[in-house]
Amino acid sequence: MLEFNRPLALQDRENDVLTVGELLVDLISEDYGDAHEGASYRKYFGGSPANIAMNVRKLGIQSQLAAAVGDDGLGKFLLDRLLSEGIEPAFVETVQEATSLVLLTKSRATPIPIFYRQADYRLSYRPQLEEILRKSKFLHFSCWPLSMSPSRDTIERMIDTAKRHRVWIGFDPNYHPMLWPKDEDGVAYVKSIIGQADMIKPSDDDAERLFGKDTPDNQILKFLSLGAKLVVLTLGKDGALASDGKETIRFPTLAAEVADTTGAGDAFWSGFYAALVRGHAIREAISLGFAVSAYKLRFTGAVVDLPDLETIQHSYGL
Amino acid sequence: MLEFNRPLALQDRENDVLTVGELLVDLISEDYGDAHEGASYRKYFGGSPANIAMNVRKLGIQSQLAAAVGDDGLGKFLLDRLLSEGIEPAFVETVQEATSLVLLTKSRATPIPIFYRQADYRLSYRPQLEEILRKSKFLHFSCWPLSMSPSRDTIERMIDTAKRHRVWIGFDPNYHPMLWPKDEDGVAYVKSIIGQADMIKPSDDDAERLFGKDTPDNQILKFLSLGAKLVVLTLGKDGALASDGKETIRFPTLAAEVADTTGAGDAFWSGFYAALVRGHAIREAISLGFAVSAYKLRFTGAVVDLPDLETIQHSYGL
| Ordered domains of chain B (ranges, CATH) | 20-315 (3.40.1190.20)
Average pLDDT along chain B? 94
pLDDT at A209: 97
- The angle that helices A282-297 and A264-277 make with each other, rounded to 10 degrees, is 140
C-alpha B114: how far from its chain's center?
Answer: 20
Q: Which residues have a Cβ under 8 Å from the Cβ of A170 and sit 6 or more positions away?
A: A138, A139, A140, A141, A197, A198, A199, A200, A201, A269, A272, A273
3-class DSSP assignment, residue A297 = helix
Q: Chain B residues with CB-CB distance to A under 8 A? A: 27, 30, 34-35, 37-45, 70, 72-74, 76-77, 80-81, 96, 98-99, 101, 103, 105, 112, 114-116, 118, 182
The rounded distance, in Å, linking the Cα atoms of A41 and A27 is: 6
Give the CA radius of gyration of chain A: 19
pLDDT (average), residues A270-278: 98
Contact call for B116 and A115, based on CB within 8 A: no
Tens-place pLDDT, residues A235-248: 988 999 999 999 99
Q: How confident is the model over A29-55, as a mean pLDDT?
A: 88
The string of pLDDT tens digits covering residues A149-171 is: 999 999 999 999 999 999 999 99
Q: Is A293:A271 a contact under the CB 8 Å cutoff?
A: yes
Q: Which residue of A has its CA nearest to B116?
A: A116
Label residue A244 exposed, middle or buried (CB < 10 Å: 0-12, 13-18, 19+): buried
Give, in order, the Cα–Cα distances in Å from A76 to each of A34, A45, A73, A269, B102: 27, 11, 5, 27, 17
What average pLDDT does the segment B234-247 reach? 94
B63-100 confidence digits (pLDDT tens) = 999 999 999 999 999 999 999 999 999 999 999 999 99
Q: Which residues of B touch A263 (CB under 8 A)?
A: none
Question: Is the ipTM of this structure higher than 0.85?
Answer: yes
Query: B303 vs chain A: nearest CA distance in angstroms?
Result: 12
* Element holding B43 (H helix, E strand): strand B40-46
Task: Give the pLDDT score at B271.
Answer: 98
- B3: pLDDT confidence band, cut at 50, 70 and 90? very high
Confidence band for A95, pLDDT divided at 50, 70 and 90: very high
- The runs of H, that is alpha helices, within A6-146 are 48-59, 73-84, 127-134
| Angstroms from A233 CA to nearest CA on chain B | 31
Residue percentage of chain B with pLDDT more than 70: 98
Residue B109 has pLDDT above 80, yes or no: no
Alpha-carbon distance A234 to A272, whole Å?
14
Q: What is the number of other CB atoms lying within 10 angstroms of the CB of residue A161?
A: 17
Residue A35 to residue B182, Cβ atoms within 8 A: no
State pLDDT tens for residues B49-58: 999 999 999 9
pLDDT band at B12 (very low <50, low <70, confident <90, very high): very high
Q: Nearest CA to B69 among B28, B21, B103, B104?
A: B21
Q: What is the pTM of this model?
A: 0.91
Q: Do B114 and A98 touch (CB under 8 A)?
A: yes
The pLDDT, as a whole number, for residue A37 is 82
Report the C-alpha gap between A175 and A189 in whole angstroms: 10
* Beta-sheet pairing, B240-243 with A15-20: unpaired
Radius of gyration of chain B (CA): 19
**What is the distance between the alpha carbons of residues B43 and B177, in angstroms, rounded to a whole number?**
25
Longest CA pairwise span in chain A (Å): 58
Question: Percent helix, strand, coil in chain A (nearest 5)?
Answer: 35, 20, 40
Kindly tell me the burial class for residue A271, based on how many C-beta atoms sit within 10 Å of its own C-beta (0-12, 13-18, 19 or more).
buried
Choose among A25, A69, A70, A23: nearest CA to A49. Answer: A23
Chain A: give the shortest CA distance to residue B104, in Å: 10
B291 confidence band (pLDDT: 50, 70, 90)? very high
Instruction: Pick the closest to residue B266 from B13, B32, B29, B59 (CA basis).
Output: B59
Chain B residue with minimum CA distance to A118: B116
Q: Is the peptide bond before B145 cis (omega within 30 degrees of 0)?
A: no
Residue pLDDT, tens place only, B138-196: 999 999 999 999 999 999 999 999 999 999 999 999 999 989 998 999 999 999 999 99
Contact list in B for residue A81 (CB cut-off 8 A) is 37
Q: In Å, how far is A44's CA from the nearest CA of chain B?
A: 5
**Amino acid type, A101:** L
Q: How confident is the model at residue A265 (pLDDT cuts 50, 70, 90)?
A: very high
Enumerate residues 6+ apart whose C-beta is below 8 A from B157: B125
C-alpha–C-alpha distance, residues A19 and A65, integer Å: 5
Chain A residues within an 8 Å CB radius of B42? 38-41
In chain A, % of residues over pLDDT 70? 98
Q: Which of B76, B77, B114 has the CB atom closest to A73's CB atom?
A: B114
Residue A192 pLDDT:
97
Higher pLDDT, A303 or A31: A303
- In angstroms, rounded to a whole number, what is the distance separating the alpha carbons of residues A168 and A17? 9
Q: What would the pLDDT profile of A174-194 be if each residue is shown by its tens digit?
A: 999 989 998 999 999 999 999
Largest Cα–Cα separation, chain B: 58
Nearest alpha carbon to residue A187 among A199, A175, A170: A175
User: Which pLDDT score is estimated for B106?
Assistant: 75
What's the pLDDT at A106?
Answer: 75
Residue of A nearest to B118 (CA): A116
- B112 contacts in A (CB within 8 Å)? 72-73
- For the stretch A44-75, pLDDT in tens is 999 999 999 999 999 999 999 999 999 999 99
Write down the pLDDT at residue A1.
73
Measure A95 CA to nearest chain B CA, in Å. 12
